[in-house]
Chains A and B, each alone.
Chain A
Amino acid sequence: MRLRRHFDHDDSTGIDLAPMLDFVLNLLIFFIITAVFVKEVGMTVSRHGGGAGGPATGKETGSISVVVKQSGEVLVDNREVDVRAVRANVERLHAQKPDWGVMVTTEQNAETGLLVQVIDQVRQGGVENVSFGTSSR
């Protein structure tokens, strides 16, 4: 019945848009509900040592060594420095060897917070090629 009544007016209005609108509204509601506006912040690092990732830097190019100990000490190039001084030290070494990457090695029980701070400092020092590994102990 309804269809026939519609047909009478087809000359002027064309297709009836109401069912399409219903469908599109349903789709819209679905996407609004499932939308997640999360943007993760993070720092991409490569791995060295361990089983999976190979060494980040080849043999021919060396790397600046940064060691994070579980006691909270940080060693840059085998010299103990404060966490906030890592940036300055890395900047200096990076100026001497511009093509070297940085290898951050942590002890198994070192805290992640300190590790993230150190990697952050290294990246602030201008080195993007950071790799991360744990010492076997």
Chain B
Amino acid sequence: MRSRRHTSHSGDEHGIDLAPMLDFVLNLLIFFIITTSFVREAGITVNRQEAATASHDDSGNILIAIRSNGEVWMDRRQVDLREVRPIIERLHIERPEDTVVVIADKAAKSGLLAQVMDEVTLGGVKEVAIGAASVGGE
């Protein structure tokens, strides 16, 4: 009924009725708004150790990578160990619910991992996870 009224009155001028398309697009928009998470990627890939109990951490969205040669990467650039704390402090103020995942290379020194985790804790983020790969893929 409604469509017939549309075509008879305004079909010549407006062409297609845009309302259903708008509904669809709005649904898509809401989906992407909800699923977007603004992850701070480290910017490099490291060779991580597999672990069977590694769990998906939904809120872990500040990533710090440690390479086997001792470089620390976060936010797509290499940073000094002493820079980690102020950067974390700034990000923690912006979004206090963020947690940190420290992804260390298999061959990285665990002393450096401990230092980075200490800097993150001093920066105010209490929940720090050690990144691992889930067994069989990813």
Residues of chain A whose beta carbon lies under 8 Å from any beta carbon of chain B: 5, 9, 12-13, 17-18, 20-21, 24-25, 27-28, 31-32, 34-45, 47, 50-53, 68, 106-113, 115-117, 119-120, 123-124, 132-134
Number of residue pairs across A and B with beta carbons under 8 Å? 176
Complex-state Cα separation, A27 to B22, whole angstroms: 13
Residues of B within 8 Å of A110, CB to CB, are 109-111
- Tell whether, in the assembled complex, residue B121 and residue A47 are in contact, meaning their CB atoms are under 8 Å apart: yes
B1-58 contacts to A, CB under 8 A, are 5-6, 9-10, 13-14, 18-19, 21-22, 25-26, 28-29, 32-33, 35-39, 41, 48-49, 51-58
Report if A119-B32 is in contact (Cβ < 8 Å); known contacts: A18-B18, A112-B105. no
Chain B residues closer than 8 Å to A20, beta-carbon distance = 22
Residues on A with beta carbons closer than 8 Å to the beta carbon of B81: none
Q: Are A41 and B32 in contact (CB under 8 A)?
A: no
B55–A9 CB distance below 8 A: no
A12 pairs with B36, CB closer than 8 A: no
Is the contact region of chain B dominated by helix, strand, or loop, or is it mixed? mixed
**What sequence of 0s and 1s flags, for each residue 125-137 of chain B, a beta carbon within 8 Å of any chain A beta carbon?**
0011111111000
Given contacts A12-B5, A38-B41, contact A120 B51 (CB under 8 A): yes
Given the known inter-chain contacts A35-B36, A68-B110, A109-B111, please indicate yes or no for A42 contacting B129, CB distance below 8 A.
yes
Identify 25 residue pairs between A and B in the complex whose beta-carbon atoms are under 8 Å apart, listed by A's number: A9-B13, A17-B19, A28-B25, A28-B28, A31-B36, A35-B36, A36-B38, A36-B39, A39-B56, A39-B58, A42-B57, A42-B103, A42-B131, A43-B53, A43-B129, A43-B132, A45-B130, A50-B118, A52-B118, A112-B66, A112-B110, A116-B48, A117-B49, A120-B52, A124-B53
The 3 closest A-B pairs by CB, nearest first: A108-B111, A113-B106, A42-B129
Cα distance, A25 to B109, chains bound together (Å): 48
Shortest C-beta distance, B42 to chain A (Å), equals: 10
Report if A106-B110 is in contact (Cβ < 8 Å); known contacts: A35-B36, A44-B57: yes
Cβ of B107 under 8 Å from chain A: yes
For the complex formed, measure the closest distance between the CB of A125 and the CB atoms of chain B, giving whole angstroms: 10
- In the complex, what's the smallest C-beta–C-beta distance from A92 to chain B, in angstroms? 18
